[in-house]
Amino acid sequence: MRIVATVLVGMMLAVGSLPPLEVHVHRAAGALEVQLTLNAPLPPSISDALPSGAQVSVTYAVQVRRRRPLLWNPKIWDGKAVATVTFDPLTGRYRGELLLNDVIVASREMTSPERALDWLRSPPAFRLLLPRTKRALTLRARAIFATGTTWLIFPTTHGTGWVRVRITDRS
């Protein structure tokens, strides 16, 4: 059944009906509940490194900005949500962790590599505590698979483009 779902997602991506990164935001009690879902395929290096015991991760860069019509959009919150998975060969289990600005906010043990890849693609929702503001807010997010440098000068990033979500009082 899992293979059928993977094939269907692959076919929908080929048609172009799914965005590479889905962002769902819900405002509740002065905080934002953010759920990220990666629909783009992960690089083969991640799935190849998963059974080796090496820690693999997908970094989700997240920014919340206040909207201004004439001036710049100042950042209210800026951070990284990092979904990591590590395989323990002694127990045969995968340990998934979600770090928000280097603080563990969720963790779980999994028994199959498919569930471990699902953890990387769709980590648990996390909450952002924000100062009160009456201005409209915009959340920007992107997934980053790997970073590096070219000729030791220009940084390169492999991942998705930025996704913008406008946050309303009813979001």
pTM for this one? 0.80
Q: Establish if 3 belongs to a structural domain.
A: no
- Counting residues of the chain whose pLDDT is more than 90, the rounded percentage is 43
Per-position DSSP letters for 106-135, written without gaps between them: EEEEESSHHHHHHHHHSPPPEEEE----SS
9 vs 14: CA distance, rounded Å: 9
Q: Establish if 98 belongs to a structural domain.
A: yes
Structurally, how many domains does the chain consist of? 1
**Per-residue model confidence as pLDDT tens digits over 17-61:** 788 999 999 887 778 899 999 998 888 888 888 888 888 899 999
Q: Establish if 140 belongs to a structural domain.
A: yes
Domain limits at 129?
18-167
Q: Establish if 68 belongs to a structural domain.
A: yes
Q: Establish if 102 belongs to a structural domain.
A: yes
**Per-residue model confidence as pLDDT tens digits over 87-115:** 998 888 999 999 999 999 999 999 999 99
Q: Establish if 147 belongs to a structural domain.
A: yes
Q: Establish if 12 belongs to a structural domain.
A: no
Q: Establish if 47 belongs to a structural domain.
A: yes
